[in-house]
Structure 1
Amino acid sequence: MVKLLKKAHTVLYYSAVSFFFLLAYPILRYLTLHPSKYYNQIVFLRKWISLLACWLVGIRFKVTFETTIDWTQPYVICPNHTSVLDITAISYLCKQPFSFMGKIELLKNPVTGMFFKSVDIAVDRKSKISAFRSFKRVHQLVKEHKTIVIFPEGKIDDEYPPQLHEFKSGSFRIAIENQVQIIPVVIHDAWKILWDDGLKRGSRPGTIHITVLAPINTQNLPSEASNQLQTSVYHQMKSFWDIYNDHQTVINSGK
């Protein structure tokens, strides 16, 4: 019965996303014809489509900031990745327009495809030419003072329960080369609400807790420092991930 209810909740969630997307579609269709001109408006609609869908099915977000963020500055935001809800989580916490960098398969989805053809960046990691063009586009957006969100793990892993997997170097090289700060973000329990795309285990209402760590300055760092920065950020995020999960284990065990 529980499994059936979780499946029904997933259907309800995707129905809500589709409903709000279709409601906004006529406006989006026009705005995406001129993505540079209407960048902020497209990002605004992307945010509220996802947030309203979550609100309708009882999914909430709670954010803890390690320090105050100056949202007038561009950043490279690096969150962990266990759920499609991570996209909404970042939209909820980020107070400025931004672009996602994601896998090329997202272009095939009628909802995400509209955004990845306009304000977001799709990358085919199997193609060096595609990867080069995508990272060139990222550099261009950063130079335009825009924030970029890159999931440094590269994908949602098949392992369940999920762990924090080693990072890829792209986001750290971009931050150093453009001298912009990195914001590590730990999304703790989105996978408990809806793991991956929800098709295997379903979903449920609940609150997703997010920790936004202090921005990391990349000013004057040489390009060869990207590997060290990558390792440092990984261990920092893993520490928060492990502490939260260990705490939840203790609570659930009743100790």
Structure 2
Amino acid sequence: MNFLLKPLRVIYVVYAAATFLGIMFLILPPIFLASLLGKQRGGNIIFYFLRFWAHTWFPLVGMWVSRKYECERDNAPCIYVVNHRSYLDAAIAVKVMRLPFRPLGKVELSKIPFFGFIYRNSIVAVDRSNASARARSVREMMTALKAGISILMFPEGTTNDSDQPLRSFHNGAFRMAIELQIPVKPVLYLDAGHRLPHKGPMHISPGKCRVVFLPSIPVAGLTLNDINTLKQQTFDIMEAELRKYHHYPTLQQVG
């Protein structure tokens, strides 16, 4: 059976890559034109082309993205905090998050030919090795939030390849939420790690990609002294909800 499945997997991976790149090259010219309109206005337009890409690519490769709201839907800007299991997460975000929004992303990916141009015109890039660059990224995110543009952050800082629901969170999203008095909205990507796991692109597979929107966590009245409390509250809520959908070893079983 494995002998038969291996060539089918190769065909699927090649097909998924070809359609990914084909649609990307199709939207590259209008994205270039939109980029001339500036970071905010042009960036907002770019996301409509990216959404077209996502709405086209996911069905073509047999991935069915669904949204579940365990909260009221609103249009107020917020800081989305999302668990990070896969490189597929960014593509899912383009498909399901309310526009306009900007994800925070690693500056290194902006160096990839063609894709890098789209990437750096649609995200807030952060260079964690450079203090002044980090400060510039924070200012850019704050400007976006004040303009009514939501920010999406992966508070784990990197993809989680552990056997636990989450890695520990960094402070950035929670500091910004408190400083600007903008609520934190936890979001769960439940199946991205199964669709494109850390084993590599040869293990990409069709199937469901469920997204769950949890109730916003208010920050009204909180001060910077409450960063750790807000961070732990968000972590606990997201971890508990993730354990409802997937089995993970308990902390007592780990090690």
Shorter-chain TM-score above 0.5: yes
Q: What's the CA shift for 1:111?
A: 4.9
Q: Which has the larger displacement, 169-178 or 37-46?
A: 37-46
Deviations 1:58-97 (A, max 9, x none): 11111111111212x1010011011122123222322221
Matched residue of 1:38: which SS? helix
- Contact map agreement 1:51 1:88 (CA 8 A) in 2: no
Unaligned runs of 5+ in 2: 249-255
**Structure-2 residue corresponding to 1:43:** 47
Q: Corresponding residue for 1:183? A: 185
Q: How far 1:14 moved relative to its partner?
A: 2.3
User: What is aligned with 1:252?
Assistant: none
Answer whether contact 2:103 2:123 (CA < 8 A) is retained: yes
* C-alpha distance in 2 between matches for 1:101 and 1:197: 24
Report the counterpart of residue 216 of structure 1 in structure 2: 217
Q: Distance in 2 between matches of 1:44 and 1:162?
A: 34
Q: Secondary structure at the match of 2:74?
A: coil
Aligned partner of residue 174 in structure 1, secondary structure: helix
User: Would the alpha carbon gap of residues 173 and 108 (structure 1) be closer, same or farther in structure 2, given more than 3 Å must change?
Assistant: same
Aligned to 1:174: 176
- Post-superposition offset of 1:109: 2.4
How many Å separate the matches in 2 of 1:90 and 1:197?
22
Ranges in structure 1 where 5+ consecutive residues have no aligned partner: 248-255
Aligned residue among 52, 58, 72 for 2:56 = 52
Q: Which residue number corresponds to residue 17 of structure 2? A: 14
Question: What is the DSSP-based 3-state SS (H/G/I as helix, E as strand, rest coil) of the residue aligned with 2:243?
Answer: helix
Would the aligned equivalents of 2:89 and 2:192 in 1 still touch at CA under 8 Å?
A: yes
Cα separation, partners in 2 of 1:110 and 1:97, compared to 1, 3 Å? farther
Q: State the Cα RMSD in Å.
A: 2.0
**Stretch moving more, 35-44 or 173-182:** 35-44
Aligned to 1:253: none
Q: Distance in 1 between matches of 2:114 and 2:192?
A: 20
Which 4+ residue blocks in structure 1 deviate beyond 3 angstroms?
Answer: 1-8
CA displacement 1:97-156 (0-9 Å, x = unmatched): 111101112212235422342231111112212111111111111111110000111111
Q: Report the TM-score when normalising by structure 1.
A: 0.88
Cα distance between partner residues in 2 of 1:96 and 1:142: 12
> d(CA) in 1 for partners of 2:139 and 2:122?
14
Q: Which residue of 1 aligns with 2:195?
A: 193
What whole-Å deviation, never above 9, does each CA across 1:166-207 have from its counterpart, x for those lacking one? 1111011111111111110111111111114843x5211101
Residue in 2 aligned with 1:96?
99
CA distance in 2, matches of 1:241, 1:168: 19
Does residue 245 in structure 1 map to residue 246 in structure 2? yes
1:7 CA displacement? 4.2
- Separation (CA, whole Å) in 2 of partners of 1:111 and 1:214: 37
Letter of the 1:244 counterpart: Y
Structure 1 SS opposite 2:238: helix
Question: 2:145: which partner in 1?
Answer: 142
Distance 2:195 2:85 in 1: 10
